[in-house]
Amino acid sequence: MLEVKIDWVIPNVNPSGVSIASPEFFSDGSSTFIATAELAGRKYSIFAEGDMEIVDNTEDGKTYYCSDDLFRAGIDTDKILGEFLDTAGVEIRNNPWFAIYDGATGEEVVDVFYDISDISDILRKSVKLDLNDPTLWLCECGCVNGATR
């Protein structure tokens, strides 16, 4: 399996140090650069995209527009967020997502509309390596550019 190296620009942990992966936790109301990834010598940029608007009609229409709003309300783990979003009266008007872009061309590789807890697997499944590309080399063990399979 090809190794994917991830370098988080925005930490993938909540303020308490617990790992988070839902796009809502990376949303700041705009396109936000959150990480770089490298697969087989190629670089990719990972962004949180889209506006977030979650309305809690059980709390007089309290509205959450960014990750800080969620953290301040104690919604700070993927599990708590899932339970909150499943609550009757909670309405998702706009939801953020992740987008992965090719670092060389800027072309979008894939949109990810769920959590990125396994970003390495998502990237491996989404990227099609052209083995005729002269910048890629396949070694005797079957790895590409020295990355293990």
Q: Which residue has the tokens 């990376």?
A: 26
* pLDDT above 70 for 9: yes
Strand intervals (E) in the chain: 4-8, 32-39, 42-49, 53-56, 62-64, 90-94, 97-102, 108-112
Q: Taking the model in full, what pTM does it have?
A: 0.78
Predicted confidence (pLDDT) per residue in 16-69, tens digit: 888 899 999 998 877 899 999 998 888 999 999 999 999 999 989 999 999 999
**Which token pair is 69?**
């709003």
Residue 19: φ, ψ to 5°: -60, 135
User: What's the rounded Cα separation, in Å, for the pair 49 and 1?
Assistant: 29
Instruction: Give residue 140's pLDDT.
Output: 44
Quick one: pLDDT at residue 86?
Answer: 95
Average pLDDT across the chain, whole number: 84
Q: What is the pLDDT of residue 27?
A: 86
Alpha-carbon distance of 100 to 4, in angstroms, equals 13
- What are the pLDDT digits (tens) for 91-107? 999 989 999 999 999 99
pLDDT in tens, 105-147: 999 988 888 888 788 888 888 876 655 555 544 444 445 544 4
